Structure 1
């Protein structure tokens, strides 16, 4: 049994990261020469622990966790609950498994001549740049042997892998992420002041629109098609990342989370 499989067995999880093949939109990144692995946790407080501290009523109802096939919902939810509980109950074990899975993902991407990227907040909004942990000695030894560019003196996931591109959406304002961690700010129905502040910092803003109603400009900025690929580090800046609403719950939104294009308050 490999070290990674041994740690997974100890934790009671099959894996933490999903590869690009599990998400059609993420799979589109390959046309940009990028392979993205995604970490999906149980969203909101589904696990009894909060992983989306700035969630609103609208984004909670429209969460992409509920947008997939109902046939897979039970198994998907159980897997994400296991990961989330592991994250809170045994942080070091969780993070050491994650380190080894990222290293494996990078090696697979290299074999396909693709750039390796990682999304840590597929269905969560955790400030990963503040999550410290200790590398296990055997994990550090394996990483030194298999991943020479890893910074083994660091104790935060994105800094251990300085050559890997991390990216996420976030609704938490004021984050100071490392250079290799690209963040796009998420607009909700109740955070316009945060949106304005993040735009002033130079952060792109993601906005959800009804299907067929994505405008060409919003908030005084050009709107790009955020569904063309998932790889946000390649987006021009400044811009609004237009996302079409997904799932029946999202399409039924009445909170204002799904924005009508005529509500461009800053365009005048």
Structure 2
């Protein structure tokens, strides 16, 4: 039996003043387990859904606050939630129909290259809109060629992503056109995943660190140009993280301040910094 996992497109396109950005949204963490509720069929002999996790470093806090579950996606009926259905279908296509997945991805990126050029914009691609896949290790074949990853196929295109993997240890030797930003994790099962010493080590090695704050804390911090000695910028002003390198100073990474969206589900895991007490607790220099 052939399963149809086609969607209108793989990439969702947005623009700012300088970039056209194509983002791939898949089903994060272990959410593929919910496929049946959305009426999506699959061959259980071809895939064991219980073993699929597209965000292996996800913490309790980020799983709860993930954009995959927020806004219009939070409480809508399964059958009517077309956005989640599409993300699940794209995930199955990536996992089970890889040849067709990469054919379509290449076609869409080529099309966006032409559109961006026509509009005088630079093209940037974000493949982990709601996942944390190591795309630099996702090899594929296209026509008669074999490629280590999609970045090696589009060497002239800038790719970027957030990640909770330790970039220094786990994601070495990245393609030159693949920019990663570390996404601070907070607590997980009672353990602090990334204390200030860990984050500072990244910043010292010219790696940017994204942190999510409640509105009041973010606004307070942005009254200053630095945080704990490192330049801090408003990450919500520009959604193309690859361009952050132009804000860096003294070969140090940036602290990227994000504001938690309204009505986001928040736990006490420290993933989203809610007040001064948490700021002092999780970013202690001692």
* TM, length-normalised to structure 1: 0.80
Secondary structure in structure 1 of the residue aligned to 2:267: coil
Does the 8 Å contact 2:71/2:263 carry over to 1? no
8 Å Cα contact 1:66-1:247 kept in structure 2: no
Match of 2:137? 130
- Give RMSD over aligned pairs: 2.3
Q: Secondary structure at 2:212's aligned position in 1?
A: strand
2:242 corresponding residue in structure 1:
233
| Ranges in structure 2 where 5+ consecutive residues have no aligned partner | 34-51, 187-191
Cα separation, 1, equivalents of 2:229 and 2:68? 31
- What's the counterpart of residue 40 of structure 2? none
Aligned length: 236
Structure 1 residue runs without a partner (length 5+): 1-8, 21-26, 138-151
Partner of 2:100 in structure 1?
93
Distance (whole Å) between structure 2 residues aligned to residue 134 and residue 11 of structure 1: 20
If each structure's strand is expressed as a fraction of its own residues, which one has the higher value? 2
1:111 CA drift (Å): 1.0
Distance in 1, Cα, partners of 2:267 & 2:227? 20
- 2:267 counterpart of 1:253: yes
1-structure distance, mates of 2:200, 2:231: 15
Match of 2:62 among 53, 59, 63: 59
Matches within 5 A, 1:1-268: 11-20=5-14, 27=15, 30-31=16-17, 33-48=18-33, 49-70=52-73, 74-136=81-143, 154-173=147-166, 174=169, 175-176=171-172, 177-189=174-186, 190-192=192-194, 194-214=198-218, 215=221, 216=224, 217-235=226-244, 236-237=247-248, 238-250=253-265, 252-259=266-273, 260-261=275-276, 262-263=279-280, 265-266=283-284
Q: CA deviation at 1:155?
A: 3.6
